[in-house]
């Protein structure tokens, strides 16, 4: 399960935010985070919180998702990826975000980072997600 960089998973984009240079864009699904977690030290700005019916929930995924759309300074990308990687709850979940030049796909305890358009990097992240139980229909992040 994932969230689209620069776009809310139900197709609404971050109007106005995409034009900000030096800002990474992304989103996460609140239910993907471990219970009792506190992420107050993650340097990001939340732009929208929305509840929607889940797309293709599998396994223990809930039928309703809380989508959180965010931006942050590009220079914080590595720190954000590390914190999210430690925060995700078990296999089957991931968070993705992107800068102008790079894509970050964050799984529990594993981060994939590749240049936008790098098919090999994208395939490696997708293969890892698939092996961890993420269905193909949810491996659809943007770049």
Looking at residue 85, what is its pLDDT? 96
What gap in Å lies between CA 81 and CA 112, rounded to an integer?
9
Q: pTM value?
A: 0.85
pLDDT score for 19: 52
Mean pLDDT in residue range 107-124: 97
Q: What is the pLDDT of residues 39-94, one digit of tens each?
A: 888 999 999 999 999 878 888 889 999 999 999 999 999 999 999 999 999 889 99
């Amino acid at each position: 399960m994932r969230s689209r960089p620069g776009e809310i998973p139900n197709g609404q984009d971050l109007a106005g935010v995409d034009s900000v240079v030096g800002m990474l864009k992304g989103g996460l699904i609140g239910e993907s985070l471990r219970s009792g977690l506190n992420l107050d030290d993650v340097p990001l700005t939340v732009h929208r919180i929305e509840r929607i019916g889940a797309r293709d929930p599998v396994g223990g995924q809930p039928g309703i998702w809380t989508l959180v759309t965010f931006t942050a300074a590009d220079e914080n990308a590595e720190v954000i990826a590390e914190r999210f990687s430690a925060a995700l709850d078990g296999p089957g979940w991931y968070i993705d975000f992107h800068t102008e030049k790079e894509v970050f796909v964050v799984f529990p305890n594993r981060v994939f980072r590749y240049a936008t358009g790098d098919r090999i990097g994208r395939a490696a992240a997708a293969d890892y997600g698939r092996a961890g139980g993420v269905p193909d229909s949810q491996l659809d992040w943007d770049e």
